Amino acid sequence: MPDQTSKDRSPLLSATQKAAIFVPLAVGVFALDLASKLVVFRAADACIIRGSDGPYADAARVIPVIPGFFDLQCVLNAGAFSGWFRGWYWFLIIVSVAALAAITAYVLYGPVHGRLFAAALACIAGGTAGNLYDRIAYGAVRDFFHAYVTIGGRTWTWPNFNVADAAICAGAGLWITLEFALSRGRRKRC
């Protein structure tokens, strides 16, 4: 049997090990995303209305969490990050399905080195699935985290996001960090 470790990477995970990490974490992220959207939209008395310009959220109230910095504010995003690709409904669905298929195929058939890499892929897959669900069910993604800061009477705001977005960013960030650590380790040995 060939050695499944290398000097550059963590040990390869078996199919059982990959599944034990990937499946529960991806499903957990997906479930947490959908549950959080349900709870926050209900708490804000928000309803989704299908208008002539597309769906939008009509929220009765904004829920302050940290005044002057962070609120729960229900909105619908018919595009990607900050409304990019608004109106490209089918393109965003196809990209999401392709991403899920590619990640799942890689986890099933590819070499997954280490539990952290499997966790990063699971976060990306679970978040992608949560936003894909929204696109199909509502025609847009439900977002509610609203971060902003007011300095000198001027407010800077970050586009609203959700648990799925946070999981995708965390997974991508972890993946990038692992790759940087790997490349740094290679340079030290040269």
Residue 77 lies in a domain: yes
Please list, residue by residue across 130-160, b when 16 or more beta carbons sit within 10 angstroms of its beta carbon and e when fewer do.
bbbbbbeebebbbbbbbeeeeeeeeeeeeeb
Residue 110 lies in a domain: yes
Mean pLDDT within 57-76: 90
Residue 172 lies in a domain: yes
Active-site residue, 45 included: no
Split into its structural domains, the chain has a count of 1
| pLDDT, position 145 | 95
Residue 7 lies in a domain: no
Mean pLDDT within 71-85: 82
Active-site residue, 71 included: no
Interval 132-165: pLDDT, tens: 999 999 999 999 999 999 888 899 999 999 999 9
The yes-or-no verdict on residue 186 having pLDDT over 80 is no
Query: Which pLDDT band holds residue 115 (cuts at 50, 70, 90)?
Result: very high
Residue 33, SS3? Answer: helix
The yes-or-no verdict on residue 4 having pLDDT over 50 is no
Mean pLDDT within 17-38: 97
Among the listed residues 33, 71, 134, 143, the single catalytic one is 143
Q: Which residues contact 75 (CB under 8 A, 6 or more apart)?
A: 56, 57, 59, 142, 143, 144, 160
61: closest CA among 40, 76, 78, 91? 40
- Residue 87's domain comprises 15-189
**Percentage of residues of the chain with pLDDT beyond 90:** 63
How many distinct helices (H) and strands (E) make up the chain?
4, 6
